[in-house]
Amino acid sequence: MSGMRIMTKPNIQMIDACHIHLFSLSNDDTVPNGIALSPTLHRAFDRGLISITSDYKVKVSKLVNDKASKITLSQFENQSIDLPEKEKWYPAIESLIWHQEQIFLD
């Protein structure tokens, strides 16, 4: 989503594996039920401040007011996410719809 790429030696991970449909409800730990996000974006996604539409674009909640910040969630509004190289690994549309209906704060 952010396009951030950080390479280090040794390999220090700066990206979280984020479940789209909550694992505690879906028991789905497959690749299509996940997206790679930075910890801040992961928290925003889990708390419903951002979501991803069925055409893989970022949606930011109207509740977000980040105009006074140098780095914002709003900067991602309507931007396409980077998709995996294989279509079978794309985020599942059903999970994205579930997130928008159950978690996203519109």
pLDDT tens profile 46-94: 999 999 999 999 999 999 999 999 999 999 999 999 999 999 999 999 9
**How much is the pTM?**
0.93
Q: How far is the C-alpha of 45 from the C-alpha of 18, rounded, in Å? A: 8
On the question of a cis peptide bond just before residue 10, with omega within 30 degrees of 0, the verdict is yes
**CA of 33: how far to CAs of 11, 12, 29, in Å?**
25, 24, 7
Interacting residues of 49 by C-beta distance below 8 A, sequence separation 6+:
60, 61, 63, 64, 73, 105
Nearest CA-CA partner of 1 in 66, 67, 52: 52
